[in-house]
Amino acid sequence: MYPAGEKRFINVNRFTIIVLFLVIIAGGVVRSTGSGMGCPDWPKCFNRIVPPTSVSQLPEGYEQHYIEGRVKKNERFAKIIDFFGYSKMADKIRHDKSILEHEEFNAAKTWTEYINRLVGVLAGFALLFTAVYSFIYIKSKPSIVIWSVLNVFFVIFQAWLGSIVVSTNLMPWIITTHMLLALLIVGVSIYTFYSATTLRNKTILVNYPSTGLKAIALFSLVITLVQVVFGTEVRETIDHFNAEGLLARDQWIDAIGSNYFIHRILAYVTLLITVVFFFLVKNRFSKSSIQSQYAWVILILVLIQMLSGIILARFAVPAFAQTTHLVIASLFFGAQYYLMLLMTKLKR
């Protein structure tokens, strides 16, 4: 059905989407294990291509060396923030005393963070090959080329932002931006995959107006993104509690405050919309349609997501549930977005 060049692009694009979700999984493991500062420098780890496995392999005087490097990088970043008019935020970055404290070496955390970076590099190359192979569509569907190339720049910016996450010692709002940018990169890859597959295969598109369903899908997607923002802030508060060690683990949820309350309310709203949307899609499409299949996918994902949230709240925030919650949220976003695209009416 597809010419060789287009088939190659679709396969690489599909592989890229899988790798991007692996990056999110790796990032979730890093967050849940507190390994974000396992490598104090970037892109190397303790100035080595292969990280150390014991204290004896650490560079002499590395603590002060990397602290000085972070201070210089943060000053450059603060100037950028200042340029855009956020002087208070820039001042906070300049005077953040936490970056002057180094984390004790832990081989497990170091290698956890390093594997996360390796998966990120794999994703970068996958996006680069996707962009290169996209030029097969330069005449037939130029938007695929444009978005594929833009996604390479997005992932380069994401890599730079990752270095800022390290240099600012995991500053909360930068972590949130890092997460949202990851979802943007996933979204672009899903869009280019959808555009490439539907260019010649129109059978998966709908033959009648579905504006109402598409509007519901879009609204649900926006709610999910808002929920991700509040969820990330909840996570940052939990990380703060963990670092300070002032509260028992079973007291964290009650101490979070309004962000957790809003996040929980949005979770119930998302569940309600997903269930309603599921039945609307099942009534409109046949069981064998891809739309029905993805309606099942998002329903199952939202139920797993709710279950992981309940486990987090009722069982003192176990680490495995933190990772599960983050990964399922990302998969849910991707499935929602793809299903929304699949609601596009076939153009005669």
DSSP annotation string for 11-30: HHHHHHHHHHHHHHHHHHHH
Q: What is the pLDDT of residue 229?
A: 87
Counting residues of the chain whose pLDDT is more than 90, the rounded percentage is 41
Strand partners, 206: 345
Contact 46, 60 (CB under 8 A): no
* pLDDT tens digit sequence for 271-309: 999 999 999 998 888 888 889 999 999 999 999 999 999
Residue 95: φ, ψ to 5°: -110, 20
Q: Which residue has the higher pLDDT, 3 or 271?
A: 271
Q: 312: closest CA among 296, 297, 295, 329?
A: 329
Beta carbons of 34 and 109 less than 8 angstroms apart:
yes
Between 13 and 85, the higher pLDDT residue: 13
- Confidence category of residue 175, pLDDT binned at 50, 70, 90: confident
**Domain positions in the chain:** 1-200, 204-348
Token pair 């997903």: residue? 274
What single-letter amino acid sits at 330? S
State pTM to two decimals. 0.88
Residue 106 CA neighbour count, 13 Å, CB half: 13
Fold of 204-348: Four Helix Bundle (Hemerythrin (Met), subunit A) (1.20.120)
Does 18 or 289 have the greater pLDDT score? 18
Q: What is the pLDDT of residue 54?
A: 87
Q: How many residues does the chain have?
A: 348
Residue 107 CA to residue 276 CA, distance in Å, equals 48
**Mean pLDDT, to the nearest integer, of 242-251?**
78
User: Which SS3 state, helix, strand or coil, does residue 95 take?
Assistant: coil
Answer yes or no: are the C-beta atoms of 52 and 58 closer than 8 Å.
Answer: yes
Q: What is the largest CA-CA distance in the chain?
A: 69
- CA-to-CA distance for 27 and 188, rounded, in angstroms? 19
